[in-house]
Structure 1
Amino acid sequence: MTSGDYGVRGIRAEEWEAVKRLRLVALRDPVARIAFLETYEDAVDRPDSFYQDRAARSAEEPSGARQFIAETAGGEWVGSLTVLIEEAGSTDWAGARVERRQGHVVGVFVRPEHRGNGLIKALFDTGVAWARERGAERVRLLVHEGNPRAQGAYRKAGFVPSGVLMPFVKDETENEVEFVLEWPS
């Protein structure tokens, strides 16, 4: 999929170094504290094998998770998101029961100089299509209640708040808001 001067695609196993570089850039973003569970310090300390394994698992088919990147015509990676498939009857990362097969979007990031031009929607369109092809009945994500910029981007991509709030893992006095994108059966 393309959006203007960008292409969006799944990562390949041999691209683990680029996966690591983009993750480290994302973790330096000013809102990284509320946007990501991982810290820059933790990510930079991980061995290369961590990123190699992550990229290899994402590139496998069939896969329960897939990372998508947006790149310029010149090959620069400027955005990313990952979709995890959650199975009905399982328990999600927070211990909540998953009621139906769904995609769960995590790790959303677009470099600041590439924001506001529809790129985030192109990333979401690709990730959502992948989840639908795997039988997901909806796609969800969690966003910090204090991150209105991200909430606006998710709304533009078609997501709406579900009404579910979850305590923020890093500070249980704060919440994350569940946003969902559902489609007719």
Structure 2
Amino acid sequence: MPRALDSDIDIRRVRPDDGPSLRALRLQALADPVARIAFFETMDQALARPAEEWRERAERGATASDNAGFVAVLGDELVGTVGVLVRRADEPDYLQRVPIVDTATLVGVYLSPSVRGRGVIDALIEAAADWSRDAGYLELTLDVHERNVVAIATYVRAGFEFVDELVGDDGRELAMSRRL
């Protein structure tokens, strides 16, 4: 069962000016020994991205019709993030799967250690599910590394079910789906 969100934390869609804060949060995620397995980039790659790229990511996450970003905010600090990317029908995705229909996929999930266990991840997942449902998608999918047991438990609690296993560059990725 999802946890209630602490009242001092706000969930909102990414804003176009969130680029620097998104960068800081991604660097925090890549430095986290537990969380970094969830990302397909290294610290060096993230550090090498120019400020303009982070600005563009924030702009897309705020306004695009085929992608949305959501953040958790505590005070003035971003403390959590999730994104939804639409995988296009007949186009290979990052694991070389080719979906038959356009598919909403949860990506870039991360919470700062300071807010873990406070209902933040549940609220972020619900924001992503609501956006996906409102955009007309019937399911929300995700991939999670088999060693990321805390994330797997979170996704199961949020209503995701296992649908496939794939071999990625760093071991097995488990595909999960949630009907909307």
Counterpart contact for 2:141–2:175, Cα < 8 Å = yes
Distance between the aligned counterparts of 1:91 and 1:46, measured in 2? 24
Cα displacement string for residues 17-66 of structure 1 (whole angstroms, at most 9, x for unaligned residues):
111111111111112442111111110111111101111122224x2111
Q: Which runs of 5+ in 1 are unaligned?
A: none
Partner of 2:172: 175
Following superposition, the deviation at residue 93 of structure 1 comes to: 2.4
Counterpart contact for 1:13–1:56, Cα < 8 Å = yes
Following superposition, the deviation at residue 15 of structure 1 comes to: 1.6
Distance between the aligned counterparts of 1:137 and 1:93, measured in 2? 21
Counterpart contact for 1:85–1:131, Cα < 8 Å = no
Distance between the aligned counterparts of 1:145 and 1:78, measured in 2? 25
SS in 1 for 2:58: helix
Partner of 1:27: 30
Equivalent residues, number: 176
- Which region of structure 1 is more displaced relative to structure 2, 44-53 or 24-33? 24-33
Distance between the aligned counterparts of 2:130 and 2:92, measured in 1? 23
The 5-angstrom pairing of residues 1-185 of structure 1 reads 3-5=5-7, 6-61=9-64, 63-72=65-74, 74-162=75-163, 164-169=164-169, 171=170, 174-183=171-180
Q: Which runs of 5+ in 2 are unaligned?
A: none
Q: TM-score, normalised by structure 1?
A: 0.88
Q: TM-score, normalised by structure 2?
A: 0.91
Distance 1:86 1:130, change over 3 A: same
Distance between the aligned counterparts of 1:93 and 1:38, measured in 2? 12
Letter in 1 for 2:69: Q
SS in 1 for 2:27: helix
Following superposition, the deviation at residue 90 of structure 1 comes to: 3.5
